[in-house]
Structures are given as structure tokens and as C-alpha cells.
């Protein structure tokens, strides 16, 4: 069993903590370190070669663990001595810590989170390679998009602070919108190869 870090945005961390996210998709990066990967995914691609490519997944294989990196802040230990690390995802309005003084705090980007500050550990249950637009409705739901609470049956991809959300008729459309929000306009239309990593939520620092 190997352990690796993985970055998640604050909305996706909230989906993880709620138990609504059990998959993540990450664009495949062709590098000089993975020459066999480009060969596996070069056209024409049959059913076998994506399965072979999955063995090269940089995030690991079933049974491996991922510890989640997210935006965080160190607490000075004076105003709230019972806590050492706070997490941006805890607050939908993440520009200020949620204490009674409303003190603004600079959040440290997720890439800089050390292992001991991570509160979420995931265990990989499956890995595959596919085109982004091959995602199914069920898979989009497993990615953590949520249904609106107004009874409309529409879906939204993000619950970011202070931002308007666009309702979509399907979870898949909501995920397409979320992908473009994260990766830039036109990223969904580009239909890249993606790693599909499925996982179970093993633990969080608060015991959930």
C-alpha cells in the first residue's frame, strides 16, 4: 500500500465530508516520464489499451491511499487555543475565519499543506482511463454535483461563496459546467483523456 497527496478545492472538500463524492477525474498529462502512456492512448484505441494505461495512473492503484490537501490556515493559539489548523472549506465565505471577532486570515494554498495537517484520507477502490465526455449520469453524481433544494430537480456543480450558480437539467451537464469552472472555458469541449479514480472515505480529523 502506497500513500500519495491529492489536491481538492473547497467545494469538493465539502462534498467529500458530506459523503457525496466518491470519484474524481484528473486530466491525463503526457510526459517524458510516462512514454508507455502515450503509446497506450494513441489512436486507434481499443478496449484493451486503456486498461493497460490505468496501471500507469500517478494517483495509485486499488488499495492505495490518498491524503487530501486543501486550503488551510494556522491558528495563533491565543484566540482559539483548542485548534491548531483551520480549513477554508469549513466556511462557505472562506475569506474570514468563523470566530466571534470575524478576523480575516490569509489562507495557505492547498499545495502547501503538510501531511500532518490533512484531515481526510481516501482509499482507492478503482482506477480507469476514459474520455472526459464518457462520464455517465451516475458518475457525475458520484463526482459530487448536487441537486438543488428548491424541488426543481435541477443540478448544480458548485456551492462557491457569493457566486451565482447555474441550474442544469442533468448531473452530467452540471459536471461539465464545473469542469469548465475549474479548468477554463472550453476544457469540457476539448474532451481530454482523464484518470477516473474511485475511492472510499476512510477517515477525517473530526472522526467522520
Instruction: For residue range 99-121, list pLDDT tens digits in order.
Output: 545 556 678 999 999 999 999 99
Supply the pTM of this predicted model.
Answer: 0.82
Residue 162 zone, left/alpha/beta (φ > 0; ψ -120 to 50; rest): left
Domain residue extents for the chain: 3-204
Asked if 160 and 145 touch (Cβ cutoff 8 Å), the reply is no
Using the predicted structure, report yes or no on whether residue 161 has a pLDDT greater than 50: no
Amino acid at each position: 500500500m502506497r500513500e500519495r497527496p491529492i489536491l481538492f478545492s473547497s467545494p469538493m472538500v465539502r462534498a467529500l465530508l458530506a459523503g457525496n463524492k466518491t470519484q474524481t477525474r484528473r486530466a491525463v498529462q503526457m510526459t517524458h516520464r510516462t512514454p508507455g502512456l502515450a503509446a497506450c492512448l494513441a489512436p486507434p484505441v481499443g478496449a484493451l489499451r486503456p486498461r493497460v494505461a490505468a496501471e500507469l495512473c500517478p494517483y495509485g492503484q486499488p488499495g492505495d491511499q490518498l491524503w487530501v490537501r486543501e486550503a488551510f490556515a494556522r491558528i495563533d493559539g491565543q484566540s482559539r487555543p483548542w485548534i491548531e489548523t483551520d480549513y477554508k472549506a469549513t466556511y462557505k465565505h472562506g475569506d474570514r475565519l468563523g470566530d466571534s471577532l470575524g478576523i480575516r486570515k490569509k489562507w495557505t494554498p492547498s499545495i502547501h499543506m503538510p501531511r500532518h495537517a490533512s484531515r481526510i484520507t481516501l482509499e482507492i477502490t478503482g482506477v480507469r482511463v476514459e474520455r472526459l465526455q464518457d462520464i455517465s449520469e451516475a458518475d457525475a453524481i458520484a463526482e459530487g454535483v448536487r441537486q438543488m433544494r428548491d424541488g426543481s430537480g435541477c443540478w448544480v456543480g458548485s456551492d462557491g461563496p457569493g457566486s451565482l450558480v447555474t441550474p442544469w437539467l442533468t448531473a452530467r451537464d452540471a459536471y461539465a459546467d464545473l469542469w469548465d469552472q475549474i479548468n477554463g472555458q472550453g476544457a469540457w469541449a476539448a474532451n481530454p483523456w482523464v484518470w477516473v479514480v474511485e475511492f472510499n472515505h476512510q477517515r477525517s480529523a473530526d472522526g467522520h
